[in-house]
Structure 1
Amino acid sequence: MRATAQKASASVSSPSLTGIPYQRFVLFPHVEVTSANVERGHALGSADTPRPGRPDRPERPGRRAPSAAEKQQAREVSLRRIGRLFTPYRGPLALVVAIIVASSVVGMASPFLLREVLDVALPNRDVPLLAWLVGGMVAVAAVTAAFGVVQTWISTRVGQQVMHRLRTDVFAHLQRQSLGFFTRTRTGEVQSRITNDIGGMQSVVTSTATSIASNLTTTVATLVAMVALSWQLTLISLLVLPPAILLSRRVARMRRSITARQQRELADLNVTIEEGLSISGIQLSKTLGAGPALVDRFTASSERLVDLELRSQLAGRWRMATMSIIFAAIPAVIYLSAGLPITAGAMTVGTLIAFTSLQGSLFRPLTGLLDVGVSLVGSLALFARIFEYLDLPVEVDDPAEPVAVDPARVRGHVRFEDVTFAYPGSDTAAVAGVNLDVPAGTTLALVGETGSGKSTLASLVPRLRDPDAGRITIDGVDVRDLRLADLARIVGVVSQEAYLLHSTVRENLRHARPEATDAEIEAAARAAQVHDLIASLPEGYDTVVGSRGYRFSGGEKQRIAIARTLLRDPKVLVLDEATSALDTETERAVQRAFTELAKGRTTITIAHRLSTVRDADEIAVLDHGRVVERGTHDALVADRGRYATLAA
């Protein structure tokens, strides 16, 4: 019996939304998102959009734009937070500090040994004593060198582990971000944060803690030894300390400002590389003749980096050069003081030489401490950029108390209950008050003109975004109450834009299910009508697909993507224009495969070509985000409504 077409009410009013004015933005270099094609699923939401939420869920308050003061406060980095990065490595760091203390204590014996050589062994021609003293000096050097090797190994290992943790934490956190984040953020910017920013922190993370401990310990031990030799000369030596600290603070502030500008410029450079040297970017620049303009843009950015690097290296150099002159003048002042008539004979030559040796040893760790301070303050700009990403809220996340499900037991009954969703800044809901019931194992086709909300509605099922109101359930469970990993096993998506990794065909397919056997991979490829094509390649399934799969045609990439999804064997399939890139003959073959594979599987299909959805169990016609007609193909054609107009 022919089903009767049902016209849905279109009187649902869209919710009042507030937000930033709608602007065009880009997800892929060759896909611009505007109000004309936003329903196709490329505009993917924003963290700044108010979400009214369901009545049984707390509402998310809207976010106002932060003030300049708040932005500055957000950029400030707590040294305590940086210190927490090293908390898991307290044991190794304590060992390093112990080694540093021992090395400093052992090293302080050298000046006293030297004094004995000059004042006792040499004047008295005591060869046995001289031999012991010289042997002691060699032993001190050997022990401190051995300590230095062990200290470097431990500190470098700890630093690299901290770097590893930062990289993986940032990458993992970004993986949890919604697609809206990536539509708002340039790809090159994200890459720059993970590579350039974290790489720029390497020397600070690896050596800062040990440098502080080493230099501080050496400074204290040296001061003790200097006071023991002559407290008067010690006071003269320390006159340089206040101006040195003051100048170092000024240099540190300069370095921090320049470092922040350097990293922003590096991010811009990365963006230019990503946009200009990707397959899509190269194709665009060649067809538009934009190559020279891109080269000019890259050149200008690189020149600015050169200038910033010069300014960073030269920042405060004249001040530090002044300090070096002062440091060099202190020994001269000490010699002068020792030679004045009023102080002549107050100390031995051995004591004087030992003291000046210690004084030189004091200025080295003092300078090291000041340099570490400069580097640490300068690196705060890098930490701020990394922590900014780590502090990003997760918009679509696992629920606090997920519902436990066995994906293999899911039947696939999908329901849309009064679902409403609007894109950020839009005055009109992309989906408004949609109610649909898709029994397990049936096929729902979503049709309508461009911008009617088809792809937006379908994207809510795998939680590429969450509805503002209403809910979507699978077997009666709200998809927001499922773990994202479970939902990904239940819902498979094939979009009109097939993305392939720069790897072999086999690895591209196995990306969907790493434990899949070669036989299962080939079975999925056969089902997607692409096995014969792959087998005909020189290296078969081990053929490298090339960047973004550009070795294959659009239809071939689409079939590989279909096979990849089928390999997961999901209970629910979302096909967003999944056969749009296929020619008529190949489309028929894939449709036959889908008809066979859809048995026992719930399928939601979005298509502009109505010939592909004639056999759907139900067809829903969308207009401006609302379901205006529902029924089978024959019933809708007979009804002479919107569907009949589209099918004409």
Structure 2
Amino acid sequence: MAQGQGRGAPRTVTPAERAQARSVSLRRIGALFIGHRKQLALVVAIIVVASVLGMASPFLLREIIDVALPQSDLRLLISLVLGMVVVAAVTSVLGVLQTWISTTVGQRVMHRLRVDVFSHLQRQSVGFFTRTRTGEVQSRITNDIGGMQSVVTSTATSIAANLTTVVATIVAMVALTWQLTLISLLVLPPAIYLTRRVARMRQKITAERQRELAELNVIIEEGLSINGIQLSKTMGAGTAQVARFTGSSSRLIDLELRSELSGRWRMAAMSIIFAVIPATIYLAAGLSFAAGGMSIGTLVAFTALQGNLFRPLMSLLDVSVTMTSSLALFARIFEYLDLPVEIQEPENPVRLAEVRGHLRFEDVSFSYDGAGTPALAGVTLDVPAGTSLALVGETGSGKSTTAALISRLYDPAEGRVTIDGVDIRDLALSDLSDIVGVVSQETYLLHTTIRENLRYAKPSATDEEIVAAASAAQIHSLIAALPDGYDTMVGSRGHRFSGGEKQRIAIARTLLRDPRILVLDEATSALDNETERAVQRAFDELSRGRTTVTIAHRLSTVRDADQIVVIDHGRVLEAGSHDSLISSGGRYATLALAS
């Protein structure tokens, strides 16, 4: 649409790199679960019950070995064995219930995050999207939130389950023999030290990996979209694109290997420690046994408990690694959620009882970078309701910027734009979109049917209204002649149709909203002369009673406008009717001779 929107700005620090430097509050992460307190409390209760029940099995085993078997007490043996089976069955059922509840909570939190990020980005100005690569935005919503899934869905319950199990196991071990318990806990210091090192390492690797995934998304978006493929084929850039993709994919391999190996080295060290501790316990138990201080049943029960201790202990340490490394993902998501909304909804929106469509620009100035060369400077326009305004000028003069301000894609830095005397910043954005309809020179169609593309403007539109809008845009006969009619798929970005056909579909989509103000930003630029004349006649008919702002290079399409304004370098150079501007011999007359 407009020029100078930062597309060529040098790359400095990306949002992802800034996010890497930001600290993420664990309290903020915990706030994601506030609405699910009851479910989480139930999960914790289930975990505690399951953990306590699980501790019964080693004691039942001790009784089997020390009492039931030596005394050949079959009745006691059956009771103890049934008790072990019942404990296993109950804890398994509780585990399934816990998983169902915790996963449900986690998925709802994930859903809320995805929706919050998507809806917040929907509120961002066009300027944000001109500064941000599409692949980067997609990567935040898919890769980053997807990477957080295990943390969100299972971390809280994993901490609760493993912590409860560790505490209950230690209590049970102390009840059996406090001396061997002390030996078992020797594993804690080296485990914690190794875990902290791996966590810091993985946090850095995770941030690098997500940046590389975002880069890969950008390459895919640029290289495999229909426009990207066409550019690649016409420029012979296919080999270069493959090389770029290969390089990014190779860097991902390296990052994944580094992440996995950092964890494997820790596991290797812990495996050695875990092998030494049981051996030491058996030696100590053997000495005690020789002295008559411990039964075989106690040793077997203690060994079972020790195995139960190391598993949840390692899981707790793994959670620590996962949480630390995932902070980079939370930072990237929270950064997008913290983006300020440049185009704000008014706190107390004004409702127009009757929209006439009187449009005014009052000393409006605007700059895309906020401080550089203004795209508009002191522009004042008055377009009475039901009249037509044509904006003409050379490329980059500020015509499309003017159109963007009418639909509030941007807000002016100075001055104001009003409709029926009300500043459009005081109108609800939904009301403004109902009042102002825009047909741009850059037509965008969704990858769905023609009917759904038209209904995008008005979901409640009837088939009769759709046909009427298409007929007014001079496209109905072409659609009706297609084998599937209005159910024809338009293809990616509408490339199944010619430029003129796409533009007429876009025109029909806008007309379906029946706006009081029409903004036609070179809306007929892709049409041949004959089709342009047909569409122009339709516009002439549809413009009756509406306020129309037309931007065009071809002056033949605007000569009948009520007023023509020539814009040059963001300023109004001259204004008047076609005849008066021709007779004055100014810039408009020069443009008319050149066209």
Deviation by residue 1:19-70 (Cα, 9 ceiling, x = unmatched): xxxxxxxxxxxxxxxxxxxxx4254479x9xxxxxxxxxxxxxxxx9999x9
Question: Cα distance, 1:450 vs. partner?
Answer: 1.4
Q: Specify the alignment match of 1:586 in structure 2.
A: 531
Q: Which amino acid aligns with 2:345?
A: D
Is the Cα contact below 8 Å between 2:19 and 2:331 reproduced in 1?
no
- With 338-347 and 83-92 compared, the bigger mean Cα shift is at 338-347
**Contact 2:3 2:396 (8 Å CA) reproduced:** no
SS in 1 for 2:351: coil
Name 2:96's counterpart in structure 1: 149
Computed over aligned residues only, the root mean square deviation of the Cα atoms, in angstroms, reads 1.8
- Counterparts in 2 of 1:256 and 1:472: CA distance versus 1, 3 Å: same
Kept after mapping to 2: 8 A contact 1:45/1:179: no
For 1:50-449, list aligned pairs within 5 A: 71=18, 75-340=22-287, 344-406=291-353, 409-424=354-369, 427-449=372-394
| C-alpha contact (below 8 Å) 2:20/2:328 kept by paired residues | no
- Is the Cα–Cα contact under 8 Å of residues 503 and 546 in structure 1 kept in the other structure? yes
In the alignment, is the contact (CA less than 8 A) between 1:337 and 1:343 conserved in 2? no
1:315 alignment partner, SS class = helix
Structure 1-normalised TM-score?
A: 0.89
1:536-551 paired onto structure 2 within 5 Å: 536-551=481-496
Give the distance between the partners of 1:515 and 1:385, measured in 2 at CA: 37
* TM-score, normalization by structure 2: 0.97
Letter in structure 1 aligned against 2:239: P
The offset of 1:598, in angstroms, is 0.6
SS at match of 1:420: strand
Moved more, 314-323 or 194-203: 314-323
Kept in 1, the 8 Å contact 2:2–2:396? The answer is no
Q: Please tell me the residue identity of whatever aligns with 1:498.
A: T
Deviation at residue 574 of structure 1 after TM alignment:
0.6
In 2, Cα distance between the equivalents of 1:342 and 1:401? 82
**Partner of residue 511 from structure 1, selected from 453, 456, 466:** 456
1:478 aligns with 2:439: no
Per-residue Cα deviation, 1:566-597 (whole angstroms, up to 9, x for no partner):
00001111100010001111111111111111
Query: CA contact under 8 A between 1:572 and 1:602: conserved in structure 2?
Result: yes
Residue in structure 2 matching 1:642, options 567, 578, 587: 587
| Corresponding residue of 1:604 | 549
What SS does the corresponding residue of 1:412 show, helix, strand or coil?
coil
Contact kept? 2:19, 2:332, Cα under 8 Å? no
Match of 1:555 among 500, 514, 519: 500
* Structure 2 segments unaligned to the other structure (5+ residues): none
Aligned amino acid, residue 592 of structure 2: A
SS at match of 1:573: strand
Matched residue, 1:628: 573
Give how far 1:400 is off: 2.1
User: Is the aligned partner of 1:454 residue 2:415?
Assistant: no
Question: Is contact 1:96–1:155 with CA below 8 Å preserved after alignment?
Answer: yes
CA spacing shift, 1:595–1:72, aligned 2, 3 Å: closer
1:179–1:440 distance in 2 versus 1, CA, 3 Å: same
CA deviations on 1:351-389 (whole Å, 9 max, x unpaired) are: 111111111111111001000101111111111111111
Paired residue type of 1:413 = H
Report if the CA contact (8 A) 1:473-1:479 is conserved: yes
SS at match of 2:406: coil
Task: Report the Cα distance in structure 1 between the residues aligned to 2:394 and 2:54, rounded to whole angstroms.
Answer: 81
For the 8 Å contact 1:188–1:271, the answer to whether it is kept is yes
Cα distance between partner residues in 2 of 1:169 and 1:181: 17
Q: Percent identity?
A: 75
* C-alpha displacement of 1:427: 3.8
CA distance in 2: counterparts of 1:588 and 1:143, whole angstroms: 79
Letter in 1 for 2:544: K
Match 2:516 to one of 571, 582, 585: 571
Residue 615 of structure 1 aligns to which amino acid in structure 2?
D
Whole-angstrom CA distance in 2 between matches of 1:67 and 1:396: 22
Range 215-224 or range 397-406, more displaced: 397-406
Deviation (angstroms), 1:343: 6.0
CA 1:550–1:42: 2 relative to 1, 3 Å: farther
Q: Distance in 2 between matches of 1:67 and 1:167?
A: 21
1:531 aligned residue: 476
Distance in 2 (CA, whole Å) between partners of 1:481 and 1:425 is 22
CA distance in 2, matches of 1:71, 1:580: 42
CA distance in 1, matches of 2:178, 2:328: 41
After superposition, residues 464-503 of structure 1 pair within 5 angstroms as: 464-503=409-448
Task: Tell me, yes or no, if the aligned pair for 1:44 and 1:179 is still in contact at 8 Å.
Answer: no
Counterpart Cα distance in 2 of 1:194 and 1:416:
38
Tell me how far 1:172 sits from its aligned partner: 0.5
SS of corresponding position for 1:460: helix
What secondary structure is seen at the aligned counterpart in 2 of 1:137? helix
Instruction: Give 1:119 shift.
Output: 0.6
**Aligned AA (2:36):** Y
Deviations 1:131-166 (A, max 9, x none): 000000000000000001101111111111111111
Task: Indicate the SS of the match to 2:490.
Answer: coil
| Secondary structure, aligned partner of 2:390 | strand
Contact 2:474–2:538 under 8 Å retained in 1: yes
Q: Select the structure with the greater relative contact order (CA < 8 A; seq sep ≥ 6).
A: 1
User: For residues 277 and 483 of structure 1, what CA distance do their matches in structure 2 show?
Assistant: 38
Taking the aligned partners of 2:45 and 2:111, their CA distance within structure 1 comes to: 25
Question: In structure 2, how many angstroms separate the alpha carbons of the residues matched to 1:162 and 1:425?
Answer: 37
CA 1:201–1:420 in structure 2 vs 1: closer, same or farther (change >3 Å)? same
Letter in 1 for 2:47: I
- Quick check: 2:166–2:313 contact (8 Å CA) kept in 1? yes
Which residue in the other structure is 1:4 paired with?
A: none
Equivalent position SS for 1:133: helix
Cα separation, partners in 2 of 1:647 and 1:576, compared to 1, 3 Å: same
What do the CA deviations read for 1:488-512 (whole angstroms, capped 9, x no partner)? 1110000101110000000000000
Amino acid at match of 1:131: I
Give 1:73 shift.
Answer: 8.3
- 1:338–1:344 CA contact under 8 A, matched in 2: no
Amino acid in structure 2 at the alignment position of 1:448: G
Distance across 1 between alignment mates of 2:170 and 2:107: 33
Tell me how far apart the structure 1 counterparts of residues 290 and 406 of structure 2 sit (CA, whole Å): 89
Cα distance in 1, alignment partners of residues 196 and 438 from structure 2? 56
